[in-house]
């Protein structure tokens, strides 16, 4: 295999002109040859996917018979040992939903051919002048949405609903019979502080991925509030979300009114249930009457409607990003934008029709690009996962996953929930292992421009057992947090979490930092952790430049991570936010915490950090910091700079 230098953005269909450039060695052999026999039906099989010339009607078992779409891949009945190969240089939009393998053999998703890594985009384009209409002075909007009602799928009149409450929240639910139609009568004594504290669970509804559904209901409330919308969820752990609607288009007030919401169905299911999260949203003391009517199939007037929140606008491959606002009235300067869930439109401040200023405008959607909840024994190798406003790889209850040699960029920023004080909360991690997760590995990946954490495992609940998770040899840049961890409550378990030989640069320097209400740029974000904890190891890493703190610790920690042989350097921020104390100096940090005994604070002397070349220079202390005099940081960056050639990215 030939060793080549390519920029991270050398994707065939994307133009990358962001303010920082990342250059790394990649092996062209990652895009493997399609030659070789395909096993028979009783053995492992190989399937090929080509976004340009493939046909979903083919059998997929040769490049000539390649499939074309993600939908065809997601619907395939894959078996342990099977491999799916995406053609290098190809681009797909949507979410990949992997199949699980077993203890004997994993299911593998990788590549074939030559060229840039195959790219899966979690965004929709709005590149043409016909995609925008002027609606005010310097205000442009995507096209208005209209829906035609089709077949009724579910009659919700007199349907039965159950309530769930936790964390001190308290509501009373009564089914009221009325000549005008039955309804739910809900008295809220205590709303709680998080959306999951009050939940309503309704009837089952089978859904097909990609379907458009419209739910009609009536409602009134003694105290006005914004109805948050519906989900269609698995009724037990891991609570997989199959579909989600936007919020109601106006406040629920004292008089009966009719509302309609549209679902985005991200995953097929025969066992999902209608679900509403009201904790912290339904006002304490409110009396809320809710009368669901029906669910219909619907046909939109736009082929690719914006059915979920738009968490970021990416212009020209990252040269500029949008600045998310929460009402049209807040749009005051170029690139301010607002997503209106009720009308499913984006409003953008721009002095001319946006495509006249930019060749590429990508609208990142609030979906996981790789939606792997509940999956196990899966290998991902050599894929590019870009422009998703939820997580890049997301989902709970995973185990025996390998994410290797993947690129992830411009991830996160979607609206997660609104706090009781009315302040919205956004989210989005590049790779997240939620809740019960074990025996997972992330290695050799390149991750940049992430709203929250580049890498994280986190959980909440007695079943949250996070065991044997390793992150090694990754390059992380321009994320709010390079690594985030927390797990609760006391009955949760954390064992053997290893963050080793990673190069982490520019924490808190990404597109999202200035937009955040809680600017918190740090390489290591260790929030409240009350889980029974052992074996967290943070060693042999480079942590270079942070806006706020090198690391931050919150409450509950009884057993600290084992941290040593790391190279730290930053000319801004402080070394650690140690529970309640901010400690600026490196020696004071080590003395106060007892951590990083053999670590050093020194400039790693990258070849050219300003141009994004994070290979180690010949005089870097990182080359001999390990106890065996070996290098720290991502191993792929430790080779001699004199023997490589850096290719400038296309303009």
CA 461 to CA 491: how far, in whole Å?
A: 8
Q: Is the pLDDT of residue 45 over 80?
A: yes
Q: What is the mean pLDDT of residues 212-227?
A: 94
Q: Is the pLDDT of residue 36 over 90?
A: no
Kindly report, residue by residue over 296-328, the tens digit of the pLDDT.
999 998 989 998 999 999 999 999 999 999 999
Q: Give 397-441 as a DSSP string.
A: S-EEEEEES-EEEEE--EEEEE-TTS-EEEE--SEEEESSEEEEE
Q: Is the pLDDT of residue 8 over 70?
A: no
Kindly report, residue by residue over 486-511, the tens digit of the pLDDT.
999 999 999 999 999 999 999 999 99
pLDDT-derived band of residue 68, with 50, 70 and 90 as boundaries? very high
Nearest to 196 by CA among 167, 173, 172: 167
At 40 the pLDDT is: 54
CA 259 to CA 267: how far, in whole Å?
A: 25
Q: Is the pLDDT of residue 382 over 70?
A: yes
pLDDT-derived band of residue 637, with 50, 70 and 90 as boundaries? confident
Q: Is the pLDDT of residue 22 over 90?
A: no
Q: Is the pLDDT of residue 411 over 60?
A: yes
Rg of the chain over CA atoms, in angstroms?
Answer: 25
Which of 234-238, 281-285, 368-372 is the least confident region? 234-238
Q: What is the mean pLDDT of residues 50-58?
A: 96
Q: Is the pLDDT of residue 115 over 50?
A: yes
Q: What is the mean pLDDT of residues 624-639?
A: 89
CA 29 to CA 316: how far, in whole Å?
A: 29
Q: Is the pLDDT of residue 24 over 70?
A: no
C-alpha distances in angstroms, 239 versus 101, 205, 469, 492? Answer: 21, 15, 22, 18
Q: Is the pLDDT of residue 17 over 60?
A: no
For tokens 């669910």, the residue is 295
């Amino acid at each position: 295999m030939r060793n080549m230098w390519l920029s991270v953005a050398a994707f065939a269909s994307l133009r990358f002109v962001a303010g920082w450039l990342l250059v790394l060695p990649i092996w062209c052999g990652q895009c493997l040859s399609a030659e070789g026999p395909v096993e028979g039906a009783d053995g492992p099989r190989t399937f090929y996917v080509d976004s340009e010339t493939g046909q979903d009607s083919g059998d997929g078992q040769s490049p000539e018979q390649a499939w074309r779409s993600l939908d065809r891949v997601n619907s395939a009945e894959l078996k342990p040992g099977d491999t799916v190969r995406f053609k290098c240089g190809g681009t797909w939009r949507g979410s990949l939903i992997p199949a699980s393998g077993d203890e004997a053999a994993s299911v593998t998703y990788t590549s074939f051919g030559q060229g840039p890594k195959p790219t899966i985009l979690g965004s929709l384009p709005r590149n043409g002048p016909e995609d925008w209409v002027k609606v005010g002075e310097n205000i442009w909007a995507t096209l208005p949405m209209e829906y035609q009602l089709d077949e009724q799928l579910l009659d919700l009149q007199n349907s039965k609903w159950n309530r769930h409450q936790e964390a001190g929240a308290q509501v009373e639910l009564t089914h009221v019979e009325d000549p005008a139609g039955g309804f739910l009568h809900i008295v809220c004594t205590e709303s709680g502080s998080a959306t999951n504290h009050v939940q309503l669970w309704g009837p089952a509804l089978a859904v097909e991925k990609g379907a458009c559904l419209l739910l009609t209901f009536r409602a009134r409330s003694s105290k006005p509030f914004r109805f948050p919308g519906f989900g269609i969820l698995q009724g037990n752990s891991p609570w997989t979300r199959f579909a989600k609607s936007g919020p109601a288009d106006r406040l629920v007030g004292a008089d009966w009114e009719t509302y309609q919401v549209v679902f985005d169905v991200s995953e097929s299911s025969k066992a999902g249930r209608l679900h509403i999260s009201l904790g912290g949203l339904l006002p304490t003391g409110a009396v809320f009457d809710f009368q669901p009517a029906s669910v219909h199939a619907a046909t939109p007037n736009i082929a690719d409607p914006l059915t979920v929140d738009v968490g970021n606008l990416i212009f020209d491959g990252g040269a500029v990003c949008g600045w998310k606002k929460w009402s049209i009235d807040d749009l005051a300067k170029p690139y301010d934008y607002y997503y209106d869930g009720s009308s499913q439109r984006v409003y953008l401040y721009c002095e001319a029709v946006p495509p006249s200023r930019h060749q590429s405008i990508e609208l990142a959607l609030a979906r996981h690009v790789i939606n792997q909840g509940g999956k196990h024994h899966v290998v991902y190798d050599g894929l590019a996962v870009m422009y998703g406003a939820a997580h890049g790889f997301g989902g709970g209850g995973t185990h025996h996953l390998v994410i290797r040699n993947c690129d992830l960029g411009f991830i996160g920023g979607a609206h997660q929930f609104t706090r009781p004080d009315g302040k919205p909360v956004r989210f989005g991690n590049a790779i997240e292992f939620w809740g019960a997760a074990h025996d997972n590995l992330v290695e050799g990946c390149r991750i940049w421009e992430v709203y929250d954490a580049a890498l994280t495992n986190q959980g909440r609940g007695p079943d949250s057992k996070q065991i044997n998770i390793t992150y090694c040899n990754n390059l992380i840049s321009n994320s709010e947090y390079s690594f985030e961890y927390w797990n609760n409550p006391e009955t949760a378990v954390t064992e053997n979490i290893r963050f080793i030989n990673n190069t982490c640069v520019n924490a808190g320097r990404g597109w999202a930092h200035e937009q955040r209400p809680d600017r918190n740029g740090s390489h290591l974000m260790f929030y409240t952790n009350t889980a029974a904890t052992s074996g967290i190891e943070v060693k042999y890493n480079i942590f270079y430049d942070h806006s706020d703190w090198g690391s931050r610790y919150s409450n509950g920690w009884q057993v600290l991570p084992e941290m040593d042989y790391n190279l730290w350097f930053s000319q801004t921020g402080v070394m650690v936010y140690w529970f309640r104390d901010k400690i600026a100096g490196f020696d004071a940090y080590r003395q106060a915490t007892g951590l990083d005994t053999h670590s050093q604070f020194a400039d790693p002397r990258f070849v050219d950090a300003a141009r994004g070349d994070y290979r180690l220079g010949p005089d870097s202390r990182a080359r001999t910091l390990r106890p065996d005099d070996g290098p720290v940081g991502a191993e792929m960056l430790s080779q001699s700079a004199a023997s490589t050639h850096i290719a400038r990215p296309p303009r």
